[in-house]
Every structure is written in C-alpha cells, then in structure tokens.
Amino acid sequence: MKKKSTGLSQRYVTALRQHLKAGPRATLQPALGLGRRAVALGLETLDLARIHERAVATLELSSSKNGFIKRAGFFLNEAITPIVETHRAARQTKAAVSRLKETLGQRTEELAASNRQLQRGIVRRKVMEDAFEKSGKHHSKCLEESLQLQKRLRQLTHRLMTAQENERKHISHELQNEIAQTLLGVNVRLLTLKTSAQGKTGNLTKEIASAQRLVVESIRAINRFARELGAIGKCQMPVANLSPGRIAIG
C-alpha cells in the first residue's frame, strides 16, 4: 500500500504542476481521476490531503504570490470528491440496513405478543379441561369446544408462521436491493474508469479489476445472508459478469 501511495504522490505532483501551468481555465478532470485512484487504493481524505501538502512543498508553492496556492486548493477539493461520494453511499446503505432492522424488530415484537396470547389460550383450555374432567358434567359439549379451540389455535399458528416467513423474505429482498444498487453503482463507475484507462496504464486496469472482484464477492456474501434468512429463489441477487469491456447480468 505504501508503494502504491508513493506512486500516487508522484502522479499527483505531476498533475498539479501541469494544472497550474495551464492557467486558471485548466480542467480539473485529472484531479477527479486521482481521487478515483485514491478510492481504489483505499485511501481516506486525510491521506490525500497529506499527499497534497507534500506536492505543494515539492513545487515550492508556499512562497508563490501568483494565486497558485488557491488554485491548488481547488485541485485538492476536486480530488477528494470521489472519496466523499463513496462515504455518502456507505452512510445511505447503513441507514437503510438500520431501518430494515428496526422493521424486523417491530415484527418480532408483534409475533411475540401473538405467541403470548396463544400460550394464554392454551393455559385456559387446559384449565377448562381439568375442571370439566373433575366435574364430569357436559363432557361431550366441552370436548367439542376444546377440539374447535385446538383447530382455531392451529390455524392461527399457521397464519403467524406464514406471516413471519413472508416478512423475513420481504426484508431480505429489500436489504439485497439496497446494497446491490450501491455495489453495482460502484462497479459501473469502476468499469467506466477501466475502459477510459485501457492502453494507458496496466497497473490501473489491474487495480480496477481487483476492485470489481471484491464487488462480486460482496454480492455473493449478501446472497449467502439471504439464504440464511430463508429468502430463496426469486430473492437471489444477480451477480455481475465482470469480463473486460462489458457487464452481463447473470
């Protein structure tokens, strides 16, 4: 990682020198490319700021009085944009997972309350059976009522189990959709960067391909989580075929 960071520092110095040399109307696209490279390397905003400080020192901009420091600041702001966007997407995903967990907790509480009601009904039935057995009166009528109560309890239990299973599948499906959109969005951006970088640098292409493999592994991990929740078949998330130059949903 240190070696890769050093390489990024050298590229940053070169890009900043060219940007300042081009004048106030110079494009900030190289800065954006450096920011995306920093994301691929797993660098944070502070790491990029340190690289910027070293570049300013290397170019001896601190003693300059022709507006280079201010323009270099604009260059840094553009470079950290991809890192900020990545953090924003992560926060949104975390918030979505939190909401889903809260919904699941509410459903669990409701099912627990229904289960307690069932248990009270069973206890009442048992008390009634014991009382009728001791008294020996109205035996046939009480037996029929008891059987009917058992039938209703079984039906209610079945409905509760079905509702719980459907809710679990629904939550699992929403969880997959939220995270899958984020992961596939990141992958599309990486593929775009990979396509634009072809023929320019082999190392950048390899780094993007490695990041794409991580996205695929993340999607597969989400599918395993879905299977553990019981979300099978239709809730399975498609895994992107990350062959160079295209994305095929499989």
Query: And the tokens for 22?
Result: 């081009």
pLDDT in the model for residue 249: 36
pLDDT in the model for residue 248: 37
Question: Of the residues 28, 58, 79, which one is the last residue of a structural domain?
Answer: 79
pLDDT in the model for residue 244: 44
What residues are paired with 248 via a beta bridge? 241
Same domain, yes or no, for 116 and 178? Answer: yes
Same domain, yes or no, for 62 and 89? Answer: no
Same domain, yes or no, for 27 and 97? Answer: no
Please tell me the distance from the alpha carbon of residue 108 to that of residue 124, in angstroms, as a whole number.
Answer: 24
How many separate domains does the chain show?
2
Question: Of the residues 79, 114, 144, which one is the last residue of a structural domain?
Answer: 79
Same domain, yes or no, for 15 and 106? Answer: no
Q: Please name the residues in contact with 96: beta carbons below 8 A apart, sequence gap of 6 or more.
A: 174, 175, 178, 179
Same domain, yes or no, for 53 and 91? Answer: no
Asked if 179 and 144 count as a contact pair (C-beta separation under 8 A), the reply is no
Same domain, yes or no, for 71 and 88? Answer: no
pLDDT in the model for residue 231: 53
**Segments in the chain below pLDDT 50:** 232-237, 239-250
Q: Return the residue matching tokens 């309890």.
A: 153
Same domain, yes or no, for 163 and 194? Answer: yes
Question: Of the residues 79, 102, 135, which one is the last residue of a structural domain?
Answer: 79
Please tell me the distance from the alpha carbon of residue 117 to that of residue 115, in angstroms, as a whole number.
Answer: 5
pLDDT in the model for residue 30: 92
Query: And the tokens for 89?
Result: 């997407």
Residue range of the domain that includes 92: 84-249
Angle at 128 between CA 126 and CA 129, to 5 degrees: 65
pLDDT in the model for residue 202: 62
Q: Please name the residues in contact with 12: beta carbons below 8 A apart, sequence gap of 6 or more.
A: 34, 51, 52, 55, 79
What residues are paired with 77 via a beta bridge? none
What residues are paired with 241 via a beta bridge? 248
Same domain, yes or no, for 45 and 121? Answer: no
H-type alpha helices, 136-201: 139-197
State the average pLDDT for the chain.
77
The alpha carbon of residue 6 and the mean position of all alpha carbons in its chain are separated, in whole angstroms, by 30
Q: For CA atoms 76, 78, 81, 82, give the dihedral sign.
A: negative
Please tell me the distance from the alpha carbon of residue 66 to that of residue 20, in angstroms, as a whole number.
Answer: 10
Same domain, yes or no, for 65 and 141? Answer: no
